[in-house]
Each structure stands twice: as structure tokens, then as C-alpha cells.
Amino acid sequence: MNVLTAENLTKSYGEKTLFADVSFGIDDGEKIGIIGVNGTGKSTLLKIVAGIEWPEQGKVTMGTNVRLEYLPQNPEFEETATVLQQVFKGNSPVMQLLREYEMALEKLNEDSEQPRFQQALMALGQKMDELDAWQLENEAKAILMKLGISKFDTLIGTLSGGQRKRVALASALINPTDILILDEPTNHIDNDTVDWLEQYLNKRKGALLMITHDRYFLDRVVSRVLELDQGKLYPYPGNYSRFLELKVEREEQVEATEKKRQNLFRNELAWMRRGARARTTKQKARIDRFEKLQADKPTEFLDRVEMPTGSSRLGKKILECNHVQKGFPDRGVVIKDFSYILLRNDRIGIIGPNGSGKSTLLNLIAGRLNPDGGSMELGSTVNLGYFAQETTYLNPDIRVIDEIKAVAEVIPTSDGGLLTAAQMLERFLFPPAAQWTQIAKLSGGEKRRLYLLRILMSAPNVLLLDEPTNDLDIQTLTILEGYLDEFPGAVIAVSHDRYFLDRITDKIFAFEGEGVVRSYVGNYSDYREQVYAAEQEAVQASNLASLAKVYRATDAPEEREEAEKKKERPLKMTFKEQQDYVQIETQIAQTEEELQKNNQHMNDMGSDFAKLTELVGIQQTLEQKLDDLLERWTYLNELAEKIAQNKK
């Protein structure tokens, strides 16, 4: 059943037409993803569908009693409201009741002896029973907890930008709606939360229309993709993988049509050059056709962006982190005893919960923060390119091309050529007319794209990327990934985009709490497999221990009697146990040394995946050997203590 229809929508800003005659429908329960280059009007289209903005032409119609909820990229907040009050911001009777209940509860907490506050809360509690609102309140708190918000009475004005966005997301999810519209819901949430949001949206009833640049998210959630490209909307049935297949087919058809058009154009041009003495009706029709062919422009595919791989020379010493410590008064220690030697071709992904210290590590490397302990040593030839989360480094008052020229007029390419600032801007989807636009007039995504170009124009040889996938469109991300494949230096990226991490990394630094940063070989999927395997081993060990207790409790009487007889005998070590007791500590030390050497070998291998696979196997064998030795050492020491006690 159709719940919303958009017909012939047209929208422009000044001389720029975002889209024209766009039409589509949304069926009940359908999940749709909108993709396209930044600045093409995706967010504007969502605002029109949500009734926030109006089109110049066309209309949007919804079914009777259809409820719609919209989450913008930059939600508005009441600074003095608490988290729960902000979540219950809807106008429905249930939401109004929940807000009243939270306010009454807050007043009672301030003055618990006031009878009128107690009576008001009891009356509201009865209404909550009547409207069955308790379940909604519990669900709201559960969603907030999943999104990393645990203090429900915190004032919105005291939250960070990322925390506010998650509160707004919780509010959008909790409201009972038939159509849920989300603009970049995966920004500012960590990988585990994105996994949870995927599952939540897949189970959720009702239609979904969203913009996201998270390709795994698109692949696993949506059932239809709408691509906004140069003012036109192209529908593709299926998820993101199916979209890629169908888009290739569409572009091949367009290219074939363009070749036919060019051939026809050449024939018509030859005829026009010969001239025509008489202007017959037939000749005039042919002239009109020539002019039409001349006016038609071939389709330019905006995702075909090329990026040069120019960089400056990188010496032997790059970065040495020696026992680095960092903490903050309000957060405690976020990095504890972290050591690492950065290699030339390292591709490192940094993951962890929000606020765990990921950006702090990048700021320490970049020299924007000083460690509390240990040292960060950069090589003398290192030219850092730091793509931070903020675009405040762009001057909003100057033109696009002036911002790039301020960094470099030209940039060398890997083949020995040169590219000018204007040429680079064209490659980054800023046509000549847009290059003279004031930066303040750019969209958020266009500013991010310009900021990325500004970084690359400085020809860095070590790249630090802090959430590069936020606000960058899929086309730009795809080309950035291709660029990183050829980049002749080290890359360290903080990201919650699982596809991006799988695509570019061969090592993961995981922030695991209390300042611990653990290194894993492989990309994000490899890391998840290693963590899952460790969790399964822990569960299995726990199950075996429980099973052993059951068996000990149900031993046969004969076995218990035999055990009692053994207890009565003098306790002593066997010859083998005596030998092991003498040698065990030396064996443990040797195994730990072998593990350390193997770890160093893995770090030195870079992108030699065949050798890395072999070393990972050795690593697992050594770790198992060390576990067995430690278990044996514990048993022998306990036995030695018991023997000593018996002798007393």
C-alpha cells in the first residue's frame, strides 16, 4: 500500500537547479536509501518530503492518518531540557504525557516532602497506566542506553554535539510513525551502535527513507536505492550491491547512446559544412536536428573523480610512540602505556566507543596535545596531513579557488606531471563556475570535500584521518579509497565506517577501555572474527569448568573412596612434576620472548599478507603454549604450597 507520493518536484537555489520533475512513491514497510554526490540536493529532497521546505513545482501527498517523523542532520534542541524531555518532544498525547511525567518527577526529586508534587505524580501515573505509556518510556531508556546515553536527567545544553545527535536519533526512533525519515543517522555513533541500529531498523515496522554513506548499512537495510544525479532521480530495486550492478548497466547504455549521437553529429556536421543553397522544409528540419544534437551534452558521471598521488619524500624514521600516557580530569586515563613504531606502508584503523580516546591519539601524533607520560617522536621528513572532524580551518569569507591556491598553485603527480589548483578542483567535482563560489555558501558535504582537497594539496606523506566518512558522499569515498591504495606513505584513520575500514586497513587499534589500546592484524572484519573467537573460547572454557563441577559432584562412591585414600597418602611431587617445577619459569620467559619477536615480525611485514598469515598462525600457537605453561605453573605452585603446609 502506498503511504506517500512525490510528484514532479522541482527545487533550485538562485541559478542552481538541484533537481527537476522528480517523482517517486513510498510503500508501507519499504526501506529506501538516497545516495548522490554532496551538493546535489539529497537533504533538501528529504526536507520537502517531510514538509519542512516547499518545492517550486510539484507536490507531496500522504495517505490519511499517516504519521511521519524526520531526523535532520542538524536537529534543534531545547538547551534547558533534560535528555528524556528532549526524547519525548512529540505532539502526540502519549509524548505530552511522558514529558509532563518527567517534569513532575523532577520536581518531586527536588522537594520530596511536597504533597502536591506527590499527588500530581500519582495522577500522571494513572494516566500512564491508561495510555499504556510505561512500555514507551522503558523502550526510550533502552534505546538511549544502546546509543551510549545513560544519564537521562542531564541537561541538553551540557552535551557534546555527538551526544545531542544520538539523543535526537533516539527521539526519532521512539516516536510511533508510519514513515521514518533519517538524514545521516550513522554519523557520530560507533561501530557497535551502528550494528545495533541496523538490526533495529530491520525489525522495525513502517516505511524508512534515509540518506547514508555507510555502504554496509545500505546493503543490509534498504530494499530500494534512489540515486540523485545532476537533477534527475534514478530508481534501483534492491540493496547497495544490486545498485552497483544496475548502475554499471545504465552507464554502459548511456555511453552506447552517446557514441551513436556523436556519429550522427559528425554526419550532420559534414552536411552543414557543405552548405545548402535552398532552404527547403526538408533542409530546415535537418538544420533543426543538427542544432539539437549540438545542444545535447553527454552525461558526465560525477563519481568518476580522479585523485593524484603526489607526496613528499619519507625518511626511515616516521613515528615512535614510547609508553605514551594521556588522561583528562573528567574522563580519567584514556591512553595507558601505548607503544608503537609506525611503518612506511602502515594502514591502521582506530576503533572504539565514543569518548574512548581515538581522536586524542591522533591529536597526540599531530602534536596538538602533549602526552602526560612517555614520548611521541616524529621523523624529520614527515609531512603530516591531518583531516580533522571540524572544517573550521576553512575561511568562509573567501572563494573556493582562493582557499586551494593558498595551499599550493600546483601539485606534482606520480607520473611526473603537474596539476593546477583549478584542475584539482574540477577533479573534486567543483566545476569552473563553482570555483568562484564563496565557501560559506557551500553545503556541509561540499565543505568536507574541499577540506580534503586542501589537505591533499599539501602533498603529505603521512595521513591522519579523523572520521573521514562523515558527510563525504559515496562517490568521493570510493575515489579516496582508490587514492589510499596508491598513497606512498602511512595512513592512520579513525572511523566507524566498517566498509571503509575493511577496504583500506591491514591493522586495527582497538580502544578497549581503561586506557588499553590493543593491536590486531587484519582489517575490521578480521578483527571482529578474532574477538568473536576469543569470546567463544571464554564461553567454552566457562562451560567446561561448570561441567567439571557437575562431574565432581556426581562422582561414583568407589571413586570418592579412592580419592579419600589418596588424600591420606603423603602429598609429594612426581619425578616429572619436580622437573617441570624447576624449568617452568624459564620456559615461560622464553615463550614470552618468542611472542614479542613474532609480534615485531608481524609489524615489519606491512602488506605481505602471505607472510602475515603464517605469522598469525605462529602467534596463535605460541599464545596457546603460554596459556598451557601458565596453567601448569599455577598447578605446580599450589602443589608445592600444599606439600610445604603438610610438612609443618
Asked if 592 and 626 touch (Cβ cutoff 8 Å), the reply is yes
Element containing residue 173 per DSSP (H, E): helix 161-174
**What DSSP letter does each residue of 155-168 carry, written as one string?**
BGGGS-HHHHHHHH
Spatial separation of the C-alpha atoms in residues 252 and 32, rounded to whole Å: 25
pLDDT (0 to 100) of residue 303: 44
Among residues 338, 249, 261, the alpha carbon closest in space to that of 297 is found at 261
Side by side, which strands form the sheet with 332-342?
Answer: 332-342, 319-328, 373-378
Asked if 201 and 22 touch (Cβ cutoff 8 Å), the reply is no
Element containing residue 221 per DSSP (H, E): helix 215-221
Asked if 226 and 235 touch (Cβ cutoff 8 Å), the reply is yes
Longest alpha-carbon distance in the chain: 128
Element containing residue 78 per DSSP (H, E): none
> In 10 A of CB 311, how many CB atoms?
22
Q: C-alpha cell of 404? A: 586551494
Find where cell 532552404 sits: 279
pLDDT (0 to 100) of residue 639: 77
Among residues 25, 27, 45, 28, the alpha carbon closest in space to that of 36 is found at 45
pLDDT (0 to 100) of residue 592: 84
Which amino acid is present at 57? Q
pLDDT (0 to 100) of residue 572: 67
> In 10 A of CB 58, how many CB atoms?
18
Element containing residue 448 per DSSP (H, E): helix 444-456
pLDDT (0 to 100) of residue 165: 84
Among residues 303, 270, 216, 166, the alpha carbon closest in space to that of 33 is found at 216
Asked if 442 and 39 touch (Cβ cutoff 8 Å), the reply is yes
Q: Looking at residue 440, what DSSP letter applies?
A: G
Spatial separation of the C-alpha atoms in residues 17 and 93, rounded to whole Å: 41
Spatial separation of the C-alpha atoms in residues 134 and 140, rounded to whole Å: 10
Spatial separation of the C-alpha atoms in residues 198 and 31, rounded to whole Å: 12
Asked if 457 and 412 touch (Cβ cutoff 8 Å), the reply is no
Spatial separation of the C-alpha atoms in residues 143 and 121, rounded to whole Å: 24
Q: Looking at residue 399, what DSSP letter applies?
A: B
Q: C-alpha cell of 496? A: 566507524
Spatial separation of the C-alpha atoms in residues 180 and 599, rounded to whole Å: 48
Give the pairing type, strands 373-378 and 319-328: antiparallel
pLDDT (0 to 100) of residue 561: 57
* Ranges of residues in the chain whose predicted pLDDT is under 50: 278-279, 301-305, 566-568
Asked if 444 and 471 touch (Cβ cutoff 8 Å), the reply is yes
| Length of the chain in terms of residues written | 648
Please return the burial class of 441, using the count of CB atoms within 10 Å of its CB with bins 0-12, 13-18 and 19+. middle
pLDDT (0 to 100) of residue 250: 82
Asked if 179 and 69 touch (Cβ cutoff 8 Å), the reply is yes
pLDDT (0 to 100) of residue 233: 93
Asked if 342 and 490 touch (Cβ cutoff 8 Å), the reply is yes
Residue 341: half-sphere exposure toward Cβ, Cα within 13 Å = 10
